[in-house]
Structure 1
Amino acid sequence: MSVIPGAWRRTAAGAGLLASDGGVAPTIFAEMSGLAARTGAINLGQGFPDEDGPAEVLEAARAAIANGANQYPPGRGVPDLLAAISEHQERFYGLHVDPATEVIVTAGATEALTATLLALIDGPGDEVVVFEPYYDSYAAAAALAGAKLVTVPLRAPDFQPDRDQLAAAVSDRTRIILVNDPHNPTGAVFGPDVLADIVRLAHRHDAVIVTDEVYEHLSFRSPHTPIATLPGAAERTLTISSAGKTFSTTGWKIGWVHGPAALITAVLTVKQYLTYVNGSPFQPAVAVGLRLPDSSFAEAAATLERKHAILGDGLRAAGFTVHAPQGGYFTVADATALGGTDAAAFCRALPERAGVAAIPLSAFVSEGRRGDYTGLVRFAACKRVEVLEEAARRLSALDA
């Protein structure tokens, strides 16, 4: 007899959290990282940097620990970080955020997203519209909240949504339109017409817009535009971001969500029963990071863009067709010319074949749409230059 409650079992199975034997299903990230470790392959699968972020930010964390910031912080977050988030949104985007009522600090963007969906989904009739491919936690969070996931496909080469398909996906059953921009895994940045459509559809169907903007400072071709800055959007938008990607501190798990006070209160009601609070000494350090000069943010984006160029050149030389990203950590490449019509099988063989690990894009799409993404592979560019150069050298053997 199973000790897992039936309702949880059904929800977990629907979200792909359970294996066929009832155990916990390993993610594709764990599988590929395990392959990389066993074979000595360079891991370009998981999106974490292999070098530290700004020295000022790291030193601020050390100082906070030394000065006793090691116990529970306030439930909404350390006041100085709340103030820094508010200052940051005003400084970069002209958004006015009340640090006392309109922002909370979370255990990374993933907790912010999960708490938001759990707080705002009313029941099984509610729908969450997402752009597909999508980060894997979106489906899990929607399933845990009891919502139906409705997807809008993004297709190569530009990975922009069809606006008619977007309009058809949003209905009066839509509770949340979830937008990841810059987008993981495709590296797309949505155009102004798409953003305007999202706001218009949210008003028409009384939906809440939830944005995942963790790559906000890693947009290459143009400055990031938060949806909350568009006319009529702020009143129904919850904006999520985090320190992990911007400051190369993914292990700290310091994120935040801001928006209208009533919506933030609902999210806080759930969040307090998830992690309660987190990362006490890291919160003042992130406040330091958010107050770094503009040049620090610009250099972070420029450095990552250069790394994408190194990776992209290596992939092209190896025989891939590369879809250059507009932002974020990842480059998507088509392996069809290298025999990679089945991207999952290609990625499982790649560590032994070339000494590099990557992730099939099909891991980020629903089962019924995987055929639309055959051959597409995601590579992480957020590694040291010498690592990317060595990966390119190893991949060159594929075209030999």
Structure 2
Amino acid sequence: MDTLKREVLSQRVRQVKPSGIRKFFDIINTMPDVISLGVGEPDFVTPEHIRQAGIESIKQGRTRYTSNSGTVELREEIASLFQSRYGLTYDPISQILVTVGVSEGVDLAMRTIIDPGDEVISPDPGYVAYEADIIFAGGVPVPVPTYAQYNFGVRAAEIAAAITPRTKMILLGNPNNPTGAVIPREELEAIAKLAVEHDLIVVSDEVYSRLVYGSEHVSIATLPQMQERTIILDGFSKAYAMTGWRVGYVLAPVHILGAMLKVHQYAIMCAGTAAQEAALQALRHGEADVERMHADYARRGRMFVEGLNRIGLPTCEPRGAFYAFPYIGNTGMSDEEFAEKLLFEEEVAVVPGSSFGAAGKNYVRAAYCTAYEQLEEALVRIERFVNKHA
């Protein structure tokens, strides 16, 4: 059989590196006794009443397509949520779109807004899909480093220094994956002023908005002149332990949402019907579940971060999400080497910080969304590992 003589893969696909996280997940799957702190997935099972809502949908034969935008009932509930939580008014018909997870929302935002050569500013370290989705859309990622001395919060001054005539968008994860950073209100206000001054779109990934500790989550869309230029991405995976259901949503101005819907129509059609009905149940009756899991994550996080600092791996207190981001540079190992040796020698899985951007070098991400007892055992193994390599 003849082999192709031309390069068949697109330049954009070739430009994107494989996810640094996948390599470790593939290895973890061959190790039955590993303590995995690598996957950003709640160890909680989706609450029973939410599961039953999905099951009932299937049993009743509600298995057809929904509207491309999602069920009206779910969109109305999302609109009600944002009105009560933030005082933001969104029309459920023309300003809300149900997506297949927040991941689809990120991709839709990039493909809808970004033209070839447009620059997108985003904090570094940041969620691994951000840079890839920008590149897939033909854009140019412009990472802005964040620093431990500022609890990894992105600062408006550094965003301002990165703005050029080609800048079209600021992409924020708030709270941040992998650092657990929450952007302080004063910095959000300064970032909002930059967006207005330079006529920029802001995409705000707020999927961890219900997992904020010690303060209230502030959505940038609530700030003056920002709702009209902000695309909010949120979903059910983290707060409701619904990762496998794959339900997220987008809130945006009418003309932007309509354009995102166009891409969604051709790429996806609609999110799963049973999953949407489960999500509706979560919004209507899942608040106690969110509060219970939030309290448990806070308890785990306090213990785990204290343990890492005691061991000698300096770790900022995460203000949101469920990630610790310890500095491992004083071990003499690179973050890749540290993660690999820790996995094979002590069967504890973490993710190299450099997988999330250049500013993650010499750090690792450890997800503390696993059981408390597993976290305690992980600390024992990590301490043994660090002492052995001291």
TM-score by length of 1: 0.91
1:165 is aligned to 2:165: no
Following superposition of structure 1 onto structure 2, how do residues 248-259 of structure 1 map, counting pairs within 5 Å? 248-259=241-252
What per-residue deviation string (whole Å, max 9, x for no partner) do you get for residues 166-186 of structure 1? 112123322211111001111
What is the SS of the residue equivalent to 1:273? helix
Residue matched to 2:131: 139
1:241 is aligned to 2:252: no
Residue matched to 2:30: 38
What is the SS of the residue equivalent to 1:198? helix
Residue matched to 1:15: 16
Contact 1:170/1:201, CA 8 A, preserved across alignment:
no
Contact 1:311/1:389, CA 8 A, preserved across alignment:
yes
> Separation in 2 of the partners of 1:263 and 1:392?
46
Residue matched to 1:57: 50
**How far 1:140 sits from its partner (Å)?**
1.1
What is the SS of the residue equivalent to 2:133? helix
What is the SS of the residue equivalent to 2:320? coil
**How far 1:198 sits from its partner (Å)?**
1.9
What per-residue deviation string (whole Å, max 9, x for no partner) do you get for residues 133-181 of structure 1? 1111111111111111111111113112343221121233222111110
What per-residue deviation string (whole Å, max 9, x for no partner) do you get for residues 281-304 of structure 1? 010111111123654433332211
> Separation in 1 of the partners of 2:320 and 2:67?
34
Q: 1:30 to 1:63 in 2, by over 3 A?
A: same
Contact 2:156/2:191, CA 8 A, preserved across alignment:
no
1:100 is aligned to 2:87: no
1:228 is aligned to 2:215: no
> Separation in 1 of the partners of 2:124 and 2:324?
16
Q: 1:135 to 1:227 in 2, by over 3 A?
A: same
The residue identity in structure 2 corresponding to 1:140 is A
> Separation in 1 of the partners of 2:314 and 2:96?
42
The residue identity in structure 2 corresponding to 1:42 is I
Residue matched to 2:185: 192
> Separation in 2 of the partners of 1:318 and 1:338?
11
Q: Which of 344, 351, 354 matches 1:352?
A: 344
Contact 1:314/1:393, CA 8 A, preserved across alignment:
no
What per-residue deviation string (whole Å, max 9, x for no partner) do you get for residues 83-131 of structure 1? 111111112111111101100000101111101110111332x111111
Residue matched to 2:383: 396
Q: Which of 203, 208, 231 matches 1:210?
A: 203
After TM superposition, the structure 1 stretch with the greater mean CA deviation from structure 2, 328-337 or 237-246, is: 328-337
The residue identity in structure 1 corresponding to 2:147 is R
Contact 2:120/2:167, CA 8 A, preserved across alignment:
yes
After TM superposition, the structure 1 stretch with the greater mean CA deviation from structure 2, 38-47 or 206-215, is: 38-47
What is the SS of the residue equivalent to 1:182? coil
The residue identity in structure 2 corresponding to 1:29 is I
The residue identity in structure 2 corresponding to 1:13 is R
Residue matched to 1:21: none
> Separation in 2 of the partners of 1:314 and 1:60?
40
What is the SS of the residue equivalent to 1:327? coil
Residue matched to 2:279: 286
What per-residue deviation string (whole Å, max 9, x for no partner) do you get for residues 48-75 of structure 1? 1222132221221111111112222211
After TM superposition, the structure 1 stretch with the greater mean CA deviation from structure 2, 171-180 or 258-267, is: 171-180
> Separation in 1 of the partners of 2:46 and 2:259?
33
Q: 1:213 to 1:355 in 2, by over 3 A?
A: same
Structure 2 segments unaligned to the other structure (5+ residues): none
> Separation in 1 of the partners of 2:109 and 2:156?
26
How many residue pairs end up in the alignment?
383
What per-residue deviation string (whole Å, max 9, x for no partner) do you get for residues 291-340 of structure 1? 23654433332211111123223323433212220000211111233333
Q: 1:315 to 1:118 in 2, by over 3 A?
A: same
1:127 is aligned to 2:119: yes
After TM superposition, the structure 1 stretch with the greater mean CA deviation from structure 2, 255-264 or 267-276, is: 267-276
Residue matched to 1:384: 371
TM-score by length of 2: 0.93
Structure 1 segments unaligned to the other structure (5+ residues): 17-24
Q: 1:270 to 1:4 in 2, by over 3 A?
A: farther
Residue matched to 2:140: 148
Report percent identity of matched pairs: 31
> Separation in 2 of the partners of 1:230 and 1:152?
22
Q: 1:296 to 1:51 in 2, by over 3 A?
A: closer
